[in-house]
Amino acid sequence: MKPFTLNHAQSANEALASLAGGATAIAGGTNLVDLMKLQIATPDELVSIRRTGLDAITPENDGLRIGALVTNADCAADLRVRKSWPLLAKAILAGASPQLRNRATTGGNLCQRTRCGYFYDTTQACNKREPGSGCAAREGFNRIHAVLGTSDACIATYPGDMAVALLALDAVVHVEGPQGARTISVGEFHRQPGDDPGRDNVLERGELITAVTLPAPTGGRQIYRKVRDRASYAFALISVAIDLSMEGDRIARCALAFGSLGTVPWRDPAVEAVLVGERPSPALFDKAADVLLRDARGFGKNDFKIALARRALAATLHEATKG
Amino acid sequence: MRLPLADLYNKPDERNLLDHTRQGIIGKPLDRPEGPLKVSGSATYAAEWKLPGCVDGVLVLASIAQGKVTKIHDKAALAMPGVLAVLADKAMLRRPAQGTAGKAPAQDVAKVEYFGQPVALVVAETFEQARDAALALKVEYKAAKSPIPFDPESPDAKVEKAPDRKAVKGGDLDKAMKNAAFSVDVEYDTPGHASAAMEPHATIAEWQDDKLILRGSYQMLAYNVKEIADCLSISPKKVRILSPYVGGGFGSKLGITHEAVAAAIAAKELGRPVRVVMTRQQVFQAVMRRSETRQRVRLACDAGGKLIGLGHEALVSNLPKEQFAEPVTQATEFLYGGDNRLLKVDVARISRMTAGSVRAPGEAVGMQVLEAAMDELAEKIGIDPIELRKRNLPGKVPVQGTAYSSRMLVEALEQGAQAFGWDQRNAQPCQSREGDWWIGMGVASAARVNMLIPAEARVTLKADGTALVETDQTDIGTGSYAILGQIAGEMLGLPIARVTVVLGDTSLPAGAGSGGSFGAISTGSAVMRACEAIRAKLADKLGCDAEALDLKDGVASSGDTSSPLEHLLDGGDIAEIGSIKPGKTALDYAQASYGAFFAEVAVHAFTGETRVRRMTGAFGFGRVLNAKTARSQCLGGMVWGIGSALTEELAFDLRDGHLVNHDLAEYHVPVHADVPAIEVILLEERDAAASPLQAKGVGELGICGAAGAIANAIHNACGVRVRSFPITLDKVLPHLPDPFAPDPFATAA
Ligand SMILES: Cc1cc2nc3c(=O)[nH]c(=O)nc-3n(C[C@H](O)[C@H](O)[C@H](O)COP(=O)(O)OP(=O)(O)OC[C@H]3O[C@@H](n4cnc5c(N)ncnc54)[C@H](O)[C@@H]3O)c2cc1C
Ligand code: SF4
């Protein structure tokens, strides 16, 4: 670990001042400290944002405002979340371990970096870590990598669970920075790698996530289905977040987001369009999968994700639509 | 006086002493005496000793797989804050030592043989400083001109016969296959495994004049002392190892590893104690792996379901010249009949970290494949897989003709089946579905060779009527402290509270060490013999024959005479060293522990995810020394079985030979949620050929075949037979029946 200084900001403004001065924000530290140990992240100056007071969950309009420093554990345990946005609680609880969730925060979770093994191994070429060095994963052991939204430069997934649920719930990220405050929909927060995979999201230098807001609950049936190699404490091979309402025997409304399938949390309006207004059936689910996977491309070890996505989608739709 | 007990265990000890002693603690599920220390964080593990002036070393690993270190640019590193030394001594280890080597493994870190091999050590005042400098250290390499392959399947890989394993040949297997009424000829593969012990490899080295003291995490101290001494070219008498608590080893700490020698060299150089702890990633990359295996199993049987031929041929791998070759066929040699036989192990010479003992070397992966193949045969014949096994238990070991000592395989299969509810199983796959999950059941036999190895222990019966047991035996979390105390207490008629056990110090008599399931029975036998010598002296004092001596609760009696030990000892201690060595019983009898596994799994009809729903294991391993620690061993073995069946796999990048998943986030061992209710049934058995305790090894038994039961259950659940472990969903998915089909078995056909 490279020597660094650590300051504790006592307010969002103090934190913003430090960030403007070039400091890196540290929240729970569950991802950043690992990266620092391996010297993948080498900040000279850290500003801890844990004492900024941004850790409240408060009602806002008909929805909910979740402070950036609310821990994953607290968010998943919140009665309002569990009652009206169960998808979010389920997704969070499907991730990491209780110890990590006690520490990990809403803002940090959104910003967590990929789990691509080559990214974490400084003996390997990686465009995300070292622009222009190449992508060792592309022809390597890429079992956990993306099949949608990839580029020549990078095929890594955003690995998290919480953001997938937030995406299906139409959540919005609130940010403050040198240019003032702005909001970003979760769907626009993460960046596909393109030819600049070093940047995972659209945060600008000096910007701080202050909160995430949820719109009014839909009252739909919400399921988070995380497919993984072991029953707990493993990142998703694929996850599906769904918020669906029926009218009679037809699908009236459907929000569908996928994790670890693409380079970013994935939502495709065309898939939802196939489903809405239709009677659920295996054939319909297949048609939705055809649309979802129309541009899917495997890289060898992750080819199975294409078939898996089809089946995971069918399983989730089946569960969400059956009587 | 010492009893005329031959060291060598040449004849089964049929006296069965422990069934005639009266204290009544042997076999009881007593708690581990060191348990409270461990759960309260007050047991001192290797890296936790606080020595004045101790500094920290961090290993630097090679970023190429094969070649030479041409230059280490240490100037910049040495100029960093706190840095004391950058070492790349010729004596530092290139490879770890194999179990029971007792001599130095490959040294000289200037040559690089595999990716991630340690090439240097950076020492600094603090661990963080050392790590920072280690990352900054620039090492120049020259790549090898003619590298060997990374892939055992490469046509360029040199394949040799296993150096330490003779092939078994009998009759004509090809002909038996041709003449068989039913046969299977299948190929399975298993991946490399990491031992994945919780405590990483760690050593604090301290020199006191010319004496070296190592506080470290090792399994077999008597051998480790010799290995260290040989590495440093000093006398073993100058080396003392302290290893009172070891946070798991699973084979990876049988021999010394890189950090120990590096710490010793650095401590000498700096004149200060040096601590070297390998990081999790370093342990994964530099310490022993279990070899991956490719196994061809041929089974030929007659119309009556009796085996007439059995073939088990394996390809494993290791670095050039290593003697160890995963002994895949070890249990196949004696488990089932079939006189036409061909069992052999070949080893491909490749560039990956050293392959060595990991959790039941041989049987762990050999049995899971053999047992899956047996399931395939039972299905072909159309008989119950338990019945197939029962029909094929030979009277003598095929080809060799050796007699069996004791074998409770039939009892294990029957009692296990009863407890598990095997009769509820539908032999036809895809018949049981709960929601989106297919449910299935599978069975497998367990077998693991039994080994007695040389061991010594000193027992002192103190004048105050308490006893002290001392040996350098380690306790790697298995219960050595508990069972050695129980044996002494039982033999000397003392409640357990009056027995103290001191372990893990090489200034004490040399125990067996922990490995190969031999620790308890070997060192336990030595303790028992020391106690016998003490009993003889007590009998003298009381004026009776040793056979007529009765010891209980600190009182010695015979007929009408009785005396509290304190009186009898009259102010004097009695100290005896007991010892045992393997003798003729090891050759005269095929000795093994046996058992049976039953697993119920659920396979997701859409995604192919498999979750184990429950497991039952029934085991016979001679006398149960402590029902609680034995059960824990069996449980732990079955958990590893779940890992082997479903999740564990070392993933290598075949382009540069590096290990991709070198931490516990990506190398998946089972977590709590993967481990369902597991029932363990311990069968009472006595095996005089195995040890004077009438006990056999149990440490590794629980893994030997467990993954086979799970694989068989998966097939029974969803009709998919995966011949490549671990059975991850991507291997199941393409073969699953249509999840929406009303009668998927019909569509699958
Ligand atoms: C072994 C392991 C398993 C895991 N498994 C899962 C899993 O299954 N599913 C899952 O979703 N996650 C998983 N995680 C990831 C975990 O959820 C993240 O590490 C965690 O959410 C990060 O939050 P944090 O507060 O600790 O972030 P930190 O580590 O403190 O920060 C991460 C990044 O976010 C930035 N940051 C933090 N807060 C802000 C803010 N308010 N504004 C701007 N930038 C900010 C930091 O500068 C840093 O770059 C796992 C992690 C580990 C170590
Ligand atoms: S996939 Fe992306 S993160 Fe992984 S090695 Fe390639 S560039 Fe790096």
Atom of ligand 1 nearest to the CA of A26: 30
Q: How far does residue B44's CA lie from ligand 2's centre (Å)?
A: 41
Strand order in the sheet with B437-449: B433-434, B437-449, B592-604, B610-620, B677-683
Binned at pLDDT 50, 70 and 90, residue B749 comes out as: very low
Shared-domain flag, residues B515 and B612:
no
Strand order in the sheet with A250-259: A221-227, A238-247, A250-259
Inter-residue long-range contacts of B146-151, CB under 8 Å, 24+ positions, other chains counted: B147/B65, B147/B66, B147/B67, B147/B351, B148/B66, B148/B320, B148/B349, B148/B350, B148/B351, B149/B350, B149/B351, B150/B65, B150/B350, B150/B351, B150/B352, B150/B652, B150/B654, B150/B655, B150/B656, B150/B657, B151/B350, B151/B654
Q: What is the mean pLDDT of residues B715-730?
A: 98
- Could you say which DSSP state residue B355 is in? B
Shared-domain flag, residues B571 and B711:
no
The complex's ipTM?
A: 0.97
Question: Which of these, B72, B83, B147, B80, lies nearest to B110 by C-alpha position?
Answer: B72
Q: Which of B607, B644, B647 to mutate to test the interface with A (most CBs of A within 10 A)?
A: B607
Higher pLDDT residue, B5 or B86? B86
Binned at pLDDT 50, 70 and 90, residue B741 comes out as: confident
Q: Which residues face B578 on adjacent strands?
A: B457
Shared-domain flag, residues B548 and B697:
no
CA–CA dist A96, A112 (Å, integer): 12
Per CATH, the number for A221-321 is 3.30.390.50
Assigned domain for B326 exists = no
Question: Which of these, B621, B632, B593, lies nearest to B684 by C-alpha position?
Answer: B621
Q: How far does residue A88's CA lie from ligand 1's centre (Å)?
A: 16
Each residue of B690-720: pLDDT tens digit?
A: 999 999 999 999 999 999 999 999 999 999 9
CA–CA dist B656, A247 (Å, integer): 56
CA–CA dist B331, B314 (Å, integer): 13
Q: Which residues face B182 on adjacent strands?
A: B301
CB contact under 8 A, B436 and A141: no
Backbone angles phi, psi at B94, to 5 degrees: -90, -40
Least confident of A131-140, B253-262, B607-616, B738-747: B738-747
Helix (H/G/I), strand (E/B), else coil: B472: coil
Assigned domain for B188 exists = no
Mean pLDDT by 10 residues, chain A (323 residues): 94 98 98 96 97 98 97 98 98 97 98 98 97 98 98 98 98 97 98 98 98 97 98 97 97 98 98 98 97 98 98 97 87
Assigned domain for B161 exists = no
Each residue of B331-361: pLDDT tens digit?
A: 999 999 999 999 999 999 999 999 999 999 9
Task: Return the pLDDT at B7.
Answer: 86
Residue of B nearest to A304 (CA): B730
- Characterize B88-102 residue by residue with b for buried, 16 or more Cβ atoms within 10 angstroms of its Cβ, and e for exposed: bbebbbbbbbbbbbb
Domain tally, chain B: 3
Shared-domain flag, residues B461 and B528:
yes
Reading the block at residue B575, the tokens are: 């100290």
Backbone angles phi, psi at B245, to 5 degrees: -130, 135
Least confident of B478-492, B586-600, B663-677, B730-744: B730-744
Shared-domain flag, residues B444 and B463:
no
Task: Return the pLDDT at B2.
Answer: 45
When computed from its CA atoms, the radius of gyration of chain A, rounded to whole angstroms, is 19
Q: Where are the alpha helices (DSSP H) in B137-235?
A: 173-179, 221-232
Task: Return the pLDDT at B6.
Answer: 61
Shared-domain flag, residues B592 and B709:
yes
Reading the block at residue B538, the tokens are: 């007590």
**What do you get for the CA distance between the two ends of chain A, in Å?**
55
Does A104 sit in the ligand 1 pocket, CB within 6 Å? yes
Pairing of β B274-277 and β B202-208: antiparallel
CA–CA dist A208, A187 (Å, integer): 18
CA–CA dist A56, A12 (Å, integer): 13
Each residue of B6-52: pLDDT tens digit?
A: 689 999 999 999 999 999 999 999 999 999 999 999 999 999 999 99
Asked if residue B449 lies in contact with residue B361, where contact means CB atoms within 8 angstroms, the answer is no
Residues of B labelled as active-site residues: 700
Q: What is the mean pLDDT of residues B607-620?
A: 98
DSSP conformation letters of B246-272: -S--TTTTSS--HHHHHHHHHHHHHTS
Nearest CA to ligand 1 atom 3: A96
Each residue of B621-655: pLDDT tens digit?
A: 999 999 999 999 999 999 999 999 999 999 999 99
Question: Which of these, B587, B582, B595, lies nearest to B335 by C-alpha position?
Answer: B595
Q: Which residues face B563 on adjacent strands?
A: B556
Question: Which of these, B741, B180, B167, lies nearest to B438 by C-alpha position?
Answer: B741
Contacts of B185 (CB under 8 A, 6+ apart): B177, B296, B297, B298
Helix (H/G/I), strand (E/B), else coil: B345: strand
Q: Where are the beta strands (DSSP E) in A158-317?
A: 172-177, 180-185, 208-214, 221-227, 238-247, 250-259
Question: Which of these, B300, B200, B321, lies nearest to B249 by C-alpha position?
Answer: B200
Shared-domain flag, residues B440 and B463:
no
Shared-domain flag, residues B556 and B461:
yes
Backbone angles phi, psi at A318, to 5 degrees: -60, -50
CA–CA dist B519, B525 (Å, integer): 10
Asked if residue A104 lies in contact with residue A90, where contact means CB atoms within 8 angstroms, the answer is no
Residue of B nearest to A140 (CA): B653
Task: Return the pLDDT at B338.
Answer: 97
Asked if residue B292 lies in contact with residue B189, where contact means CB atoms within 8 angstroms, the answer is yes
Among B580, B599, B626, where does a domain finish? B580
Task: Return the pLDDT at A323.
Answer: 74
Minimal Cα–Cα distance from A3 to chain B, Å? 8
Shared-domain flag, residues B420 and B539:
no
Residue of B nearest to A239 (CA): B607
Assigned domain for B656 exists = yes
Shared-domain flag, residues B102 and B239:
yes
Task: Return the pLDDT at B5.
Answer: 53
**Structural domain harbouring B237:** 46-147+195-289
Mean pLDDT of chain B: 96
CA–CA dist B602, B604 (Å, integer): 6
CA–CA dist B693, B129 (Å, integer): 52
Task: Return the pLDDT at B4.
Answer: 44
Q: In angstroms, what CA-CA distances link B244 with B215, B477, B509, B590, B632? A: 9, 11, 14, 34, 20
CB contact under 8 A, A231 and B131: no
Task: Tell me, rounded to whole angstroms, the distance of Cα B528 from its chain centroid.
Answer: 24
Minimal Cα–Cα distance from A183 to chain B, Å? 34
H/E element, B342:
strand B340-349
Contacts of B282 (CB under 8 A, 6+ apart): B59, B61, B116, B118, B200
Assigned domain for B296 exists = no
Report the share of chain B in percent with pLDDT over 90. 97
H/E element, A7:
strand A5-8
Among B232, B265, B289, where does a domain finish? B289
Shared-domain flag, residues B715 and B652:
yes
Angle at B743 between CA B741 and CA B747, to 5 degrees: 75
Q: In angstroms, what CA-CA distances link B326 with A44, B117, B291, B312, B725? A: 48, 21, 6, 13, 16
Nearest CA to ligand 2 atom 6: A135
Reading the block at residue B182, the tokens are: 């039913």
Question: Which of these, B359, B381, B358, B378, lies nearest to B370 by C-alpha position?
Answer: B378
Assigned domain for B316 exists = no
Shared-domain flag, residues B229 and B126:
yes
**Within a 10 A sphere around the Cβ of B385, how many other Cβ atoms?**
26
Does A96 sit in the ligand 1 pocket, CB within 6 Å? yes
Assigned domain for B728 exists = yes
Asked if residue A67 lies in contact with residue A57, where contact means CB atoms within 8 angstroms, the answer is yes
- Characterize A166-176 residue by residue with b for buried, 16 or more Cβ atoms within 10 angstroms of its Cβ, and e for exposed: bbbbbbbbbbb
Is residue B747 predicted with pLDDT exceeding 60? no
CB contact under 8 A, B647 and A312: no
Is residue B1 predicted with pLDDT exceeding 50? no
Strand order in the sheet with B8-9: B8-9, B574-582, B455-461, B467-470, B499-502
Among B251, B267, B289, where does a domain finish? B289
Q: In angstroms, what CA-CA distances link B455 with B101, B217, B475, B494, B697? A: 16, 20, 15, 23, 15
Is residue B154 predicted with pLDDT exceeding 60? yes
Q: Is the peptide bond before B726 cis (omega within 30 degrees of 0)?
A: yes
Does A162 sit in the ligand 1 pocket, CB within 6 Å? yes
What is the domain-level CATH number for residue B64?
Answer: 3.30.365.10
Ligand 2: which of A129, A139, A151, A155 to mutate, judged by most atoms within 8 Å of the beta carbon?
A: A155
Assigned domain for B41 exists = no
Each residue of B231-253: pLDDT tens digit?
A: 999 999 999 999 999 999 999 99
Task: Return the pLDDT at B743.
Answer: 54
Select from 1.10.10.10, 2.40.40.20, 1.20.1260.10, 3.30.43.10 the CATH code of A1-48.
3.30.43.10
Helix (H/G/I), strand (E/B), else coil: A220: coil
Contacts of B634 (CB under 8 A, 6+ apart): B595, B617, B619, B680, B682, B698, B701, B702
Contacts of B606 (CB under 8 A, 6+ apart): A311, A312, A314, A315, A318, B436, B736, B739
Q: Which class for A319: exposed (0-12), middle (13-18), buried (19 or more C-beta within 10 A)?
A: middle
Q: B662 contacts in A (CB within 8 Å)?
A: 121
Reading the block at residue A7, the tokens are: 């300051």
Each residue of B411-447: pLDDT tens digit?
A: 999 999 999 999 999 999 999 999 999 999 999 999 9
Domain positions in chain A are 1-48, 221-321
